[in-house]
Structure formats: structure tokens, C-alpha cells
Amino acid sequence: MNTLELKKKATELRKYTWQLIYEHSNGHTGSDLSCADILVALYYKVMNQTPENVGSPEADTYIQSKGHAVEIWYEVLADLGYISKKDLDDGYSKFNTPFIGHPTTHLKGMEFNTGSLGHGLGLGVGVALAAKMDGLSKHTYVLMGDGEQAEGSIWEAAMAAGNYSLDNLTAIVDHNDLQISGTTDSVMRSNPLDRKYEAFGWEVVEINGNDMDTVVKALSQPNTSGKPKLIIANTVKGKGITVAENRADWHHKIPSQEEYETGIKQLDAQLEALGND
């Protein structure tokens, strides 16, 4: 896919996510919309991973440490055929469903159960360390939130990744500056993340995480530093739908019918502007 196609895909999946959340009255709306471009770049352009090879030694591993943004991930996996879109639409948040509010290994493509924040980076360290031991060329990607950076376990994992020079590990912080109670700076200041991770032995790049071209480039660039790489992806929480953008209360707010319809119109307009036919 080229950049334009990736942009369209991200917009289309934002729309599906918005629909899923509205129809079932459950979901982490702002968080999903924030990281949509990152997931699309990884799944449709960057990662060596397919429904057929996921979990195998040669396939890249994706770990979503910010597990609550699961709806956008469901839509990606459904679109790519890892899981059934119909099953998702029918079963999401229902009794005895695998489609719960956080990722589970019941579903193809989800290699770890996440949702409790601060676990993903350590899991990634384990997978990347095993790949080094086995001489595998696979790469491990971990998506974290910025509010999540307050978890101490992240810094244990960051230290270990630096200690073991895990240049086969890329972590991305979905840096939208908002968490459930307000701005990350007002809740618990984790900034400046670049200097912190650099001090822990990481290569750090900072990008606009909602600009597809930039996201793809940052994720695709070969890592020659000999260090694990952190991409601070500056994003907009709720990206793509005006009412939800940059609003902490949209962390898991469900749109009203009016908001829903307006959101769909906005996303359709974005698709049209991108040349959707």
C-alpha cells in the first residue's frame, strides 16, 4: 500500500471502530482513534506478519501494551482476515465473547493478554531476547500509552532492553498527552520521555504519530544504533472526529446518536477528500 491507501485504510477503520463502539455502547473511543495510524502503518506496511504466519518464529510480533485501545485492533485484524468481522460485530462485549474490552489470546493475532498497563514492554523484552538467542531476524513492536509511562514495570523493562541492547525491539508511545483524569502532565508528569529513555540506553525518535508518511518512515527505518528504539508518536486523542479530539473525557466516552452521525459524516468527508470512490 502507498501512503494514500494507508491513510484511507486508517480512516476507514476509524469509521468501523466508531460504529462498533456506538452500536454496542462500549469502548475506549479516544484511545482507539489516537493510535489508528500507527496500527495501520504496522499491519499494512511495516510488519512481516500475516494471519498465516503470526506467532511463528519468523513472524514479527506486535504487543499492544495499551490494551484498552482494543477496538481499533479488532478492526485491523478483522479487515486483514485474522478474525471474522461478522463475529466481531455480533459478539463484541456480549456474554461469553472473546471480543472483550482488552486483547486476549483467544483471538488470532493477539499473542498476549494485555490490559493491565505496564506489561507490554517486558513481554516485548522477553520475545526480543528469545529472538536474539535463537538468531532470528524477527522484530518485536510494542505500543504503549503515555499515561502508562507512570507504571514502574515499564522502567524495569526499559532498563532490561537497554542492558541487553535489544535493537530488534521497537516501542512506540502513543503520546496524545491525555489520560482518563486529564493531561499526563497534570496527572503524573512522564515528560520528557526522550531523555528518560535515552538515559536507559534507547535510541529515541519523535514524530507526528498521525501523519502516515512519517509514521511509516519511522517504523521502517532500519535500526543501526545497536539499541532498542523508542518512537514517541505525538498524536491527537480522538483523532478524526472533532467532538472527541483532544478531550480526556472521550477516553471511553460513547457517542450520542447525534455525535455518532456527525462523526460518520466527518470520516466520510475525510475519505472523500482522500479520493475514496
Contacts with other proteins by CB under 8 A lie at: 57, 105, 111-116, 119, 122-131, 133-134, 152-153, 156-157, 159-160, 163
- Integer-rounded Cα radius of gyration of the chain: 18
Between residues 159 and 243, which has the closer beta carbon with respect to other proteins? 159
CB 103 to other proteins: min, Å: 10
Between residues 160 and 204, which has the closer beta carbon with respect to other proteins? 160
Between residues 151 and 259, which has the closer beta carbon with respect to other proteins? 151
CB 215 to other proteins: min, Å: 25
Of residues 114, 98, 116, 95, the one with CA closest to residue 106 = 98
CB 60 to other proteins: min, Å: 12
Between residues 22 and 200, which has the closer beta carbon with respect to other proteins? 200
Between residues 16 and 112, which has the closer beta carbon with respect to other proteins? 112
Angle, vertex CA 54, rays to CA 48 and CA 58, nearest 5:
55
CB 268 to other proteins: min, Å: 39
CB 119 to other proteins: min, Å: 6
Between residues 57 and 182, which has the closer beta carbon with respect to other proteins? 57
CB 34 within 8 A of CB 88: no
CB 134 to other proteins: min, Å: 8
**180 contact partners, CB below 8 Å, separation of at least 6:** 147, 248, 251, 252
Between residues 124 and 201, which has the closer beta carbon with respect to other proteins? 124
CB 85 to other proteins: min, Å: 25
